[in-house]
C-alpha cells in the first residue's frame, strides 16, 4: 500500500542500535546504517530523521530495554536489598555475556564520547546515568540505609556498573567482573548490617 512503511521499525532500530553500539557514533556512517538496517538513506531520513535523531532513538530504546530489566531486578529491594542489588548487577553480566550484542554499554560508550558529541546526545547519556543512579538510590532508601549512605552507594554502584561495561570491552573475564561486584557487595553488606545494629 502506498505511504505505508514496508519494514518493522523496531527491527530497524535494533539493527541501528547494535551498529552504533559496536562502532560508536563517530565511526558509524549512513552507509553503515543503511547496510545494517536494510534501508536506503531516504528511508532512514524519512523514518528517523538525521543521524543524531536516530542515535537518540537508539539510546532511548537501549535505556528503556535495560532499564526495565534493572527495575525488575530491584523490585524486591525492601525485603532483600542485597539480593536486589546483586540481581541488578546480574542484568549487566547477562548483557555482557550475550553473544548477540556487542560488549560494553551503549550509555557508557556515549558518556565517554560526550566531548565530541552534540550537546543533546551528551545530555541524554547523562540523563540515562542519572536514571540508573536514581533507581539504586530508591533501592537503598527502601532498605532504610541512611540518606547520605544511600546517595554515596548509589553513585558508587552506578560507577561500578559502568566500569563493568568498560572492562568487558577490554576482555576482562566474568571472574574478574564478579570480583569487582563482590567487593562492592561486601561494602554494602557492612553498611546495611551497621544500619540494623
Q: What is the pLDDT of residues 135-178, one digit of tens each?
A: 999 999 988 899 999 999 999 999 999 999 999 999 999 999 99
**34: pLDDT confidence band, cut at 50, 70 and 90?**
very high
Size of the chain in residues: 197
Cell numbers at residue 169, please?
A: 570491552
The pLDDT, as a whole number, for residue 7 is 80
Rg (CA), the chain: 19
**193: pLDDT confidence band, cut at 50, 70 and 90?**
confident
Residue in the structure block whose three cell numbers are 564520547: 113
Residue from 68, 104, 103 nearest 88 by CA: 68
CA distance 181 to 49: 40
Threshold 0.75, pTM exceeds: yes
Q: SS3 string of 100-157?
A: CCCCCCHHHHHHHCHHHCCHHHHHHHHHHHHHHHHHHHHHHHHCCCCHHHHHHHHHHH
CA distances from residue 187 to 82, 83, 153, 156, 194 in whole angstroms, order as listed: 11, 14, 9, 11, 11
- Residues near 105 by Cβ (< 8 Å), separated by ≥ 6? 92, 95, 162, 165, 166
CA distance 109 to 195: 36
CA distances from residue 84 to 87, 161, 177 in whole angstroms, order as listed: 5, 14, 18
The pLDDT, as a whole number, for residue 151 is 96
The pLDDT, as a whole number, for residue 197 is 62
Residue in the structure block whose three cell numbers are 539504586: 136
CA distance 142 to 81: 8
The pLDDT, as a whole number, for residue 13 is 96
The pLDDT, as a whole number, for residue 18 is 96
**196: pLDDT confidence band, cut at 50, 70 and 90?**
low
Q: How many CB atoms are located within 10 Å of the residue 7 CB?
A: 12
For 73-101, how does the pLDDT look when each residue is reduced to its tens digit (9 = 90+)?
999 887 899 999 999 999 999 999 999 99
Residue from 118, 87, 77, 105 nearest 164 by CA: 105
Amino acid at each position: 500500500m502506498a505511504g505505508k512503511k514496508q519494514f518493522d521499525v523496531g527491527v530497524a532500530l535494533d539493527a541501528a542500535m547494535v551498529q552504533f553500539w559496536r562502532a560508536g557514533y563517530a565511526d558509524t556512517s549512513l552507509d553503515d546504517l543503511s547496510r545494517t538496517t536494510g534501508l536506503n538513506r531516504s528511508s532512514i531520513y524519512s523514518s528517523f530523521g538525521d543521524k543524531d535523531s536516530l542515535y537518540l532513538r537508539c539510546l532511548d530504546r537501549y535505556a528503556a530495554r535495560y532499564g526495565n530489566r534493572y527495575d525488575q531486578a530491584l523490585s524486591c529491594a525492601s525485603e532483600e536489598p542485597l539480593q536486589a542489588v546483586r540481581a541488578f548487577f546480574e542484568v549487566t553480566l547477562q548483557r555482557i555475556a550475550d553473544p548477540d550484542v556487542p560488549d560494553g554499554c551503549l550509555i557508557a560508550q556515549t558518556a565517554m564520547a560526550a566531548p565530541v558529541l552534540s550537546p543533546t546526545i551528551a545530555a541524554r547519556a547523562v540523563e540515562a546515568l542519572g536514571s540508573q543512579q536514581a533507581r539504586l538510590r530508591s533501592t537503598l532508601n527502601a532498605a532504610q540505609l541512611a540518606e547520605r549512605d544511600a546517595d554515596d552507594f548509589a553513585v558508587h554502584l552506578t560507577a561500578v556498573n559502568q566500569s563493568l561495561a568498560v572492562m568487558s570491552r577490554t576482555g576482562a573475564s566474568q571472574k574478574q567482573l564478579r570480583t569487582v561486584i563482590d567487593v562492592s557487595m561486601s561494602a554494602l553488606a557492612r553498611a546495611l548490617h551497621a544500619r540494623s545494629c
